[in-house]
Each structure stands twice: as C-alpha cells, then as structure tokens.
Amino acid sequence: MVSIGNTILPGVQTNIESADSTAVNIGAPGQIGLVGEADLANGTATANELEIIRTPVKARTLFGAGSQLAENVVQALTEGAYPVYAVAAEAVEVVGEDLSGLASTSGVLENAPVSESPSEVAFSVDGTGKDAVLTYHDPATETVGTDTVHYNPSSGAFELDAAPSTSGEVDYTYYDYDAATDALIDTAGNIVDVVGLLNENSAAVGYAHTKAVVATNRYEFMVVVAGAAPRIPDTFAYEVAYDSSRLQLLYPARTADDLSIIGAYCGLRASLGINSSPMFKRLSGVTDLAVTLSPDDQQNLIGQSTVPMADESRGARIVEDLTTVSDDNMDEASMRQVLHRLIVDYVTNIVNANSERYIGSLHKKSTRDALQGSITSELKRLKATDSITGFTIAIEEVDAMTASADVGIDTIDPLRNIVATISAGQIESDE
C-alpha cells in the first residue's frame, strides 16, 4: 500500500492498494516529457530549461537538426503527441580526468552518459593520443587496435589497447541528465504522465525513477520510460534491476543508426492516452531497430518485466505494456502494465480533487453525502465509457474531524491473446 499525505495537517490522505481490477478506455489525454541530448551549438534552446514544442520546425530550431532530442521530439509529434514537453541536458566538459591509477586496459569514466561524437572524447596514455571508437556493446569484449580506445557512451565504460604504465588522462563531454530531469519534473510534473529518457544510462534512469516516486507525494503522477540497455548480449542471462510500476524499460530502444525510439514510443502513448493499450501496436516511423529479437528473446525479456520491441518492416511492434513490477510484488500486482498504473493514477486524482473541495466544510452528514455524490458522478462518467463495469463508494465518519472515502472499481483488461482455430474440409454453414 502507498500512502500520500497525512492527517496531521488539514487535507486529504490517500491510500493506494493493489486489487484485482484494471482499466482501459477512460478517455483522459496523455502528456509526455522528454529529456535528452541536443546540439545547442546549432540550436536556440538553453540547457535545463523546459520547452513546449508543437511543430517539427520548432523542435529542430530549438535543439539542432539531427540531434537525439530534436529528432525524438519530431517522432513524438509524428506519432500523435501534442504538445511535447522537452528539456535539453547540459553538455559538461571534463578536462584531464586522471587514468594513471588504472591497472588494466578496462575502465569506466567518472561521468556518463558521454557524448556520442568520438571527436569530443580524447584519451592520452603514456603521452600517446588514442583514437576513440564508439561502441554500444561492452568495450571489454571487443578487440582494440593499436593506439585505439573503444568507449560506450551510455555506460562510460572503455577499453584501451594497453594499460597506462606512467600516465594517462582523458578529456570528454558528458550530459547531465539529472539536472535536466529536475527541470522537467519540477516545472511540468503536474502536467506530464510519461517521462521519456533518451539514454539508457543506469544512473540517469535510476535518478528519474526516484524523482517520479517522490513526486507522488505531491499528487504528481508519472511513469518513466527508458531503454533497458544499448545492447543486451544474452537475454537469457539478463536481469532487470528494478521492481516498480513507475518505470517501464524497452529493448531495443534504438534504431540501426542508434537513434533513440523513446520519443516515438512516448508519442504513441500520448495519442492513446488511457483509451487503449499500446500492446501489439506499431511505431509507423520506426522500421529498422538496432537488434532483431527472436521469440525466445522476447519471452526472456517479458519474464524480466521488460518490453520487447519487435523489428518488423511495417514498423517496430510493441510486444507488451509492462512496468518493471515483479511477480512477487503484491503491493503493485495490479499495476504490472503501464496502462493499469495510469488508470489508478487517474482515479486517485479524481478522488483527491473532489475530496479537497470539502476540506474546511462543516463535518456533517450532508457534507459527506455531497462528497459521495461528487465522486459518484465522476465514476458514473467512467462507467458510461465502458472503462469500468462497476464501482462502490462509501463516505463514513471516522471521528469529529475526519471522514473516510473508500472507493472500489471493477474494470476490464485489454485483449492480450486470441486463440484461432481454422478448420479445412467439409463444414456445415449456418447460412
């Protein structure tokens, strides 16, 4: 159970419990926010400042044509988001990070994610400059040529051709996702339903998830969407590091050109709102993913509460709609899909908004009846859209200054499977 608020100060305390009810087709709009790398040398935006974008031209003007953030905003608009809230992460230069204590050829930079442009990463070992080569795999598994270094921009991991014997240093640019995430959620946390991160860096994802969880204390509800990893070498050995209904991980989350697809995915999610699940739907503008998953890969990922993306010519297909909630997490058992999480958030806001109107009113039966009538009216509207099949509500006196509001809903699940049987041969027609 999750509790929001308290009874020490005047206001509403909300307890959210998991039950065997979920919902679809409520009809609330979806709003998204994106955080990512921009080319601010060729864009007019300022790092860590919220922008609200309604056209592709503005996206490219603000964030620089061809940058991750600009192109992901364009994809989000193409898939149906309107508008798109976005913040460019600040590019921070690091000069002379010491590598002299490195005892092997493998290491990890102190800051990540790192620039995806090798020209902005300069290694020097024992006085010799190294040519930087970008990779999205584990650099330690790759063969490194003479005077070359392979680096993974997401994790900051690198592999040298030889360990430093006397000296070593590196200059590079990294992106401060945490500050950009702060800017987005602190400014638009009461607006956005989904926050998309355009990089798979684990620290950035973890920070955004924590930020989203903390925001629930202000009745600001959102789900963070990010890539599980740039590359997963073995889906059978893969283990998800989270257990939360506030986080959704996709894999793969990049195209063959390593452009993030998070913007496109969030755009589709925004266009659906909570009218429909994105399960089995396609991203029309994404046709060539970085990795093609086998059916076994897809099953392995689903087993780890990660959304597989199927690489298909008609558009990348969203196989599932999972949050990272594990099978053992009974507190969030009914929020194993993002759609369910958003529905619970929506109903929570309905109850809270109606309840707040009566704080300060005289505590008598007519006041409680009026509150029950207000919430009942909202729930009847939801029932009329067939998103809930029934509901219960009880407003009771707890003590002289406290009332309880107990709301239950019966809802329907999205259709996940169809078992079709085709019979060939002689059949009897009903016509």
Please report where in the chains the tokens 């590019």 appear, as a residue. Answer: 91
User: Under a CB-based contact definition with an 8 Å cutoff, are residues 116 and 136 in contact?
Assistant: no
Strands 51-53, 84-88: pairing is: antiparallel
219-244 confidence digits (pLDDT tens): 999 999 999 999 999 999 999 999 99
pLDDT at 21 over 50: no
Per-chain mean pLDDT for the chain: 90
User: CA–CA separation, 277 vs 317, rounded Å?
Assistant: 13
| 95-109 mean pLDDT | 96
Torsion on CA atoms 295, 298, 302, 304, rounded to nearest 10: 120
User: CA–CA separation, 370 vs 139, rounded Å?
Assistant: 64
254-279 confidence digits (pLDDT tens): 999 999 999 999 999 999 987 788 99
Q: What is the pLDDT of residue 381?
A: 83
Q: Which residues pair with 134 in a beta bridge?
A: 151
Greater confidence (312 vs 12) lies with: 312
| 45-73 mean pLDDT | 98
pLDDT classification of 206: cutoffs 50, 70, 90? very high
pLDDT at 420 over 80: no
Measured from the Cβ of residue 7, the count of other Cβ atoms closer than 10 Å reads 12
Weakest-pLDDT range from 41-50, 258-267, 415-424? 415-424
User: CA–CA separation, 283 vs 16, rounded Å?
Assistant: 33
User: Under a CB-based contact definition with an 8 Å cutoff, are residues 44 and 2 in contact?
Assistant: no
pLDDT at 69 over 90: yes
User: How far is CA 221 from each of CA 199, 278, 319, rounded to the nearest angstrom?
Assistant: 22, 19, 25
Q: What is the pLDDT of residue 413?
A: 64
Q: What is the pLDDT of residue 417?
A: 64
pLDDT at 152 over 70: yes
